[in-house]
Structure 1
Amino acid sequence: MMAQNEVVVVGIDVAKDKVDACIRSLSQRQTFPSTAEGQRALIRWLRKHKVGKAVMEASGGYERDWAKALRDARIEVRIVDPKRVRSFAPHPP
């Protein structure tokens, strides 16, 4: 169980046609299409889970519209360097 003052963070993997969102602390995952309705659905899902911060890789500009939509919804956004994120990926056995 998380302490009440901890911020819930979502990791978002942005692609051209969709985003994959994962709230690891809550074991929640969902995919949303890269459309205006997809952005609204993501924001509803994040609010449902009380997410306060979103982290996504810089991905050739595809992340910009998503970041703007989240910021407009008053969700803090961090765009990170993909090379730094890769160090957190699981390594094959």
Structure 2
Amino acid sequence: MNKQDMGVNVGIDVGKFQLDIFIWERDRHFTVENNDSGVREAIKILKRYKVQCIVMEATGRYEMAFATAAFEKGLPVAIVRPILVRQFARAADQLAKTDKIDAAIIARFAALMKPRLTKQRSENLQLIKDLVVVAGS
């Protein structure tokens, strides 16, 4: 099996205004805005690859637009607790912090740790969770 046949693992550092995306097996980084057009652009790029897993940290809702779009396109997504990635980075002695480095660490985490995929939530369940978050604020 050659490198082109292998799937890729993707790490996304989610920010309020941008998504830093790193494709581990291709050593490729790109950034898009965290809005509808940026998400569409990112999905279009990722659909060119055989994606094994896209990993994002749970950020308190900023990851949901991308996750929903990825689910709709049949891409495998794992939304993980940030502490898991932080501990992984510490174990890898990766202490520097930039959005690009964070995305690369998340992609490396995806490739090596093989986190469990997140199941897509029904639209109603997501609305209820959103209401609970807003009410608790």
What's the TM-score, normalizing by structure 1?
A: 0.87
Q: Which residue of 2 aligns with 1:35?
A: 35
The separation in 2 between residues aligned to 1:71 and 1:52, in whole angstroms, is: 13
Contact 2:58–2:80 under 8 Å retained in 1: yes
Q: Does 2:69 match 1:65?
A: no
Higher helix share: 2
Higher strand share: 1
Q: Secondary structure at the match of 2:66?
A: helix
Percent of aligned positions with the same letter in both sequences?
36
User: Any gaps of 5 or more consecutive residues in structure 1?
Assistant: none
Q: In structure 1, what residue type is equivalent to 2:29?
A: R
Q: Which residue of 2 aligns with 1:91?
A: 95
Q: Which residue of 1 aligns with 2:116?
A: none
Alpha carbon RMSD of aligned pairs, Å? 1.7
Residue 66 of structure 1, CA deviation: 1.0
Alignment of 1:12-31 (within 5 A): 12-31=12-31
The separation in 2 between residues aligned to 1:72 and 1:49, in whole angstroms, is: 16
The separation in 2 between residues aligned to 1:56 and 1:19, in whole angstroms, is: 10
Q: Secondary structure at the match of 1:48?
A: coil
Residue 17 of structure 1, CA deviation: 0.4
Q: In structure 2, what residue type is equivalent to 1:91?
A: L
Q: How many residues align?
A: 91
| Higher relative contact order (Cα pairs below 8 Å, separated by 6+ residues) | 2
User: Any gaps of 5 or more consecutive residues in structure 2?
Assistant: 97-137
Q: Secondary structure at the match of 1:56?
A: strand
Q: Which residue of 2 aligns with 1:7?
A: 7
Which structure has the larger Rg over C-alpha atoms? 2
What's the TM-score, normalizing by structure 2?
A: 0.61
The separation in 1 between residues aligned to 2:4 and 2:42, in whole angstroms, is: 24
